Structure 1
Amino acid sequence: MSEPIDDRTVRAAKPAPAPAEPSVGTTRRKKPKMPKLSRSGARPPRAPGVPAPQLPRGTVSAATWRDLAVVTALSLVGVWGFAPAFGDTGYLLAGIGGVLVGTGAGYLSHRFRLNAFVTALGAIAVYFILGSALAMPGYALFAVLPTLQTLRGLALGSVFGWADIVTLAAPVGAPDYITVLPYAAGWLVGLVSAVLVLRWMPRHDRTPLRLAILLIGPILLYVMGVLIGTQTPFLATLRGIAFAVVALVWLGWRKGSANNASLQERKGLNRNKLIGTAIIVVAATLVTGLAGSALVPAPESRFVLREKVVPPFDPEDYPSPLAGFRKYTKDLGESELMTVTGLKAADKIRLAVMDTYDGRLWDVAGPETQTGGSGSFSLVGERMPDAPLLVSESSRSVTVSVGAYSGVWVPVVGYPTKLTLPTEPEDKTQDLRYNAATATTVLTSGVDKGYSYSFDAQIQDVYSDEALKNVPTADVTLPAVDKVPDVVTAKAAEYVGTATTPVAQLREIERQLKANGFLSHGLASDAVPSRAGHGADRIEELFTRNQMIGDEEQFAAAFALMARSLGYPARVVMGFAPENIEEGAEVTVTGEDITAWVEVPFEGVGWISFSPTPDEKEIPQDQNPKPKTEPQPQVRQPPRAEKQAEDLLTNVDINDSDDEKKDDDAFELPGWLVAILWIVGVPLVLYLVPLLVIALIKSRRRKRRREAATADARAAGAWDEALDSFTELGFSVPAVGTRGMLARDLGTQVSSHATAQGESTDAGASDGEDAGTVLTRLADGADEAVFAGVDATDEHVDGLWQASERSSVAAAAAVGWWRRQLSRFRVSSRKTGSTTGSTRQAAHKGRSRRRAKGESQK
């Protein structure tokens, strides 16, 4: 039988053949047909629904570069508007750098065709790597390299910077991460805009709506600069004209395209565009420059967030009210602080409630330490929220006129239910904060002489000890107390004695303090001096000296700590207790009426008051107030308000060495870092671990095929590897058929999917070849290597593996993003198919017979 005529032989016999390109198989590349032109020279319009021609992967057209440049320029105009909120030009480096970093990350995503997850992950990595030099250069190593402080600032600034920028006075210079805000905003807008311009827009027609979508990011930056700014406009005319002109001109030129028109028509269109552009520029300049002055609102009516957003009240910004206790007894003892009407006998005026102790002060719990028992300060109106645990059958209607008193703490009686503030001469209703759990009322702008207000309040019912005999304390969680002297716990156990019920134990402590203590305010008229303060050293001194000498500040603080040591939720209340109250009469409150007491909650009853301060009585003079332990020279201490908090502490025997040792030895990650690790790390591990395992399996499969013993096995392995890739991508691979039949079938599927996805059929292939052509060349080359009867060369086999890779890449580019992700988690290990396997075995047998025949003839 004569040998079949090979197509390559026929092509070689033709005269003046064109130089043949190196190919793996026998299929010849076809030149792409050029669309026919009309008589006017214009290309025929594209049919509706047909996607625009696609450029090779990673290539960016000149028009797309212009779009990206315009969107970036508009974003920079928006960043410029952050100037009023910042005191210097450091925000420009951060904002411009953020836009460029985000845009660069978007370009890399397009250049390497990264999926959404890898794009986001890479953009975040670039954000942290370059952010130190751009947003926090003063804290970076050599002003460039990241440090723990800069990494922390980049994380915190992107989350908390938005609240800080509108709650802090402009220009904002602190905290250290505040410049991260323009960097993060620019980075996000740059990233999203670049992805839309480079990856989304080229797949669709440039309609006005789609072009307008690209302006959303720059517009948000522009609006953000206005909202976080001040009431004084910042170059509103100049920035408005620049933004409007660039955006309108770009939309006008980008929408109309003269590519499909003849040369004469194109000249006319361009002339009309130039005239329209000039009209737009002139109109925008006139409207913005001339009419803008009349349309721009007055500074006082300009809407900016910092004027509308009121920062939350933080008690830690103010000194502890109890720390200034002696100010009232020494400096304001005879001053008329306020006049109050509506009081009844035994009523006390509540100033503030302190429920946390740190070894230096009893203080009002701040936002970070507040619990359900201490509550938080909320912006309220005239109506106050209900107080938890309150049991009341009596009420008061009280009016207060402020005299010498001043401060943010508003004096009230009981638990207010309605509070009316005057609106003249100044309306301070927006400054009112209220803590329903403690009935502590705050006016952040402060009250001073001449201010008056009225309120209705509920008064906590009073219960006898007999009624509370079998009542447990309420299940209330208060902020922890720290650094309590050991002597407090010892004295509490001693004073309790044989009492077993909560109220009995608390009354015993109260009785012992009253019986054994002596009242002294530290005045010059007092027989025995009494040091101010209620830190750990002062409380220990109260119990270790021969005589317990102090005033309400020390005794209330000590009682609350003793109650806490027994497990009872106790808090210290500071206020005024006027004497000789006549119902309905006006009562004048002076500094001498200052007092402090302790409240403990009981189940179903409410907060019950305890007053452990002893009555005034003569202090024995025949004993010197010396320490019971080691004698030390005593020096009269100045008032606490004149010393720093750290100077008030001396060495106190507090048995917390083990806890401190554990704290020193243990290394704890910051909370923000733990949160980031959980939010980012867990999904990352769940994604990467299976992906890594499957990638190793595929790599082993590929290596086994590529390093097969014979050349025909390696060639067939290249074909099998391509079929496995197609199967993992979700293509339907026929179970039976020759390689050529399978190649044509799969090529048709790839073309169909590419058209549906808006991709080019030659995406991922080389030299403009579509996926079907590459796959056909691979099939022909594999057949030649298997059936030729001679060993294929290494160059031929390498070419087959390259064709296999190109066909797989082209197939991946033709399907959607989700199918590409799923293919990473699929493993299709195709063994030799039925048809290809039988022909391959037949080829091996035929080659063996031919070799044996040749040897016998020799």
Structure 2
Amino acid sequence: MSGARPASTPTRTDGVLADAVLALLASGVVLLAWQPTYAGSGWWIAGLSASFLAVMVAVAVRDAGGGGEVVTLGLFAGYLVVAGPLARGSLAVEGWDTVTDGIRGSWEVWHQLLTTHPPVTAAGPTLLPPILTGLVSGGFAATLALGSRRPAVPLVPVALALGAVLLVGQHQAASVLGVGVGAGAVAVVWLQVRAARLEAEEIGRDPARRRRTVVALVVVALCGAASLRLVGGDPVEDRYVLRDGVRPFAVSGIVTPLDSLRDLVLSDRKLLQVDGLPAGHRLRFVALDRYDGQSWTADNDTDPVRDDDRFLHVSETVENPAAGEVREVTVRATRYWDRPWVPTVGAVQSLGFQGSDADLGSDLLYNPATQSALLPGGLDADVRYAFTAIDTDRLADRRVEGSAAYDEELRDRLQVLDEVVSYWSIGAYTPMDALSKVAEGIRKVGRYSHGVEPWEQRFESGHDLRRLTDEFLLTVPTVGDEEQYAAAMALLATRMRIPARVVVGAVVPRDGAVRGSDVTAWVEIRAEDGTWRTIPAEVFMSRKPPDRLTAGGPVDRDYQPPSDVEPQLPDARPEQPADREDGPDADRDRGAAWWLLLPSVLLLLVVAVPAAKWVRRRRRLRSRRVSARYAGAWDELVDHARDLGVDVPVSAARPGQAAVLEGTLPLALEADRRIYGAGDLDPGDADAFWELVRAELREMDAAVPRWRRVLALLDPRTLR
């Protein structure tokens, strides 16, 4: 029957089904980019459900003859119906207020995601971003696929949705790489399917479609392998995400327990009741890791090797991996703990407030890098909270090697401490040995006082640089309490190129009742493996009271070393090859780097040559001038023959080239007749000529071994 559809031509129903399935698949890959952000599977179910319903709406509207504007309106209305109850946290619908709450919640939830440590609990308004992602990447992509005859148009909403998710997401190379390769593979397959179907609807099925699809998938796989080789599994520290530009809570201006340590200790009131933490363990109030010359403070963005070093909100759980014993602790605050810091232990995994104070959890801020928690409004009397944490408290010893991630700017400002370091570290063999000797020396000459007695009042509180040097380390007598000793010891470690911070907390007594007299301060140093090790106060702090007979004016301490010993400031770590610009080790490292990079470069070349030939073929096939399509088809034949090793004269005329290529003379004469003829050319005839050339190419390939065909694909000579 003349009116029957050819068997090789796909039906419209087949095209709708393929576009719908691929739209769902692309949307699913985009939704996977949310995985590092959310906990549980609720976000995944919500996003996929939204994507499926959106694709069904797009198919139904298109089948009914509606346009993209109808689909957009329907998806927007459906989203508002869902967004209101989710934003309000209630299934009750109260007219226009529910709609406005949904719109406001849709705007505010993005800021909530950017100011919350992952994983975020997928409940209530936090489900809106995955739902929006599913609607855009699934519904709009399906709408464009069913209404446009351009193969690449449906990929636009998919790319926009993926970019938005990655900008809001986390610094994780593995997830970015996996989602990127997955999205690329789906995009290539969808492009191939759409291009082949649209082409078949016009001129019939392309017999080379399967080969092109396989080549495209191979290209995607090679690109993914090259990306994996170049990126690896390390965090993408240079990748920009929106959370990097969000200003976190300004914590540096809050008074710390170190500033008011004397008030806490001298009052000796009951501050906290702790259950679940064995006696003698340290309860952590706050870690102070920034020094401005006046005081040690807590702050954001202080850790050069982490990207989660900020005080941000937390959900029911915290992504805070660590090694150690798991502790389940309950804390009750008394009315005398009138400060915003929330005492914890180690790496907190989850924290929640109990009873009528459960809502306080939404205001809690936590910094995983310093293991410090903050409640801006403070803890009221009898507020109870429970947390699960991994106890990471480990003592430092002389075998530990310090990390190289110290504050260089702060170290350069502490030259005044060189004579102290040089004097006490004489004879040290390692940086930690030197730090231990300095701590022992300070404890030996130091005295302990809170400045309570009238004759002790000149031993003031504070830990500015003047108080720690001219009025403490460099004077006789050297008198202070935990505030001065811990602050000074952390600065001395920093000057010795060992990263250090001050931690204020308490040693939990047997009955768990933490009083002011239990409050203390210690120092933590960063080891080479990235962990923080504790130097207890008793290592560097003296408990001897000052001598009342020497309570006169301060005297400069003589830190001059013996005449037969040359002063030397110990280096915190041996010189590494990366610290030297020249020398055989540096040359060897550079050579090793080149050898490591060589496989990646070769892999990229293997991908680039076939890709360049594919682009060249497409340009020849779709040339604007029809005569150029004939010329391009013949050039494609000649180039492929040369890739297979046939010596075809490049400068010869087409009939002369055909003499070398057996059986191609009719094609050469037809190309010359069409190119140099006077009449108008039909694009359909040019496409038919290309089919004849493709048949000749297949015969060429069949006449040579498979390995020769592979070499021909990778041969770059004909690209010149």
User: Do these two structures clear the TM 0.5 threshold for a shared fold by scoring above it?
Assistant: no
Q: Which is greater in Rg?
A: 1
The TM-score with structure 2 as length reference comes to 0.44
**What is the TM-score when the length of structure 1 is the normalising length?**
0.38
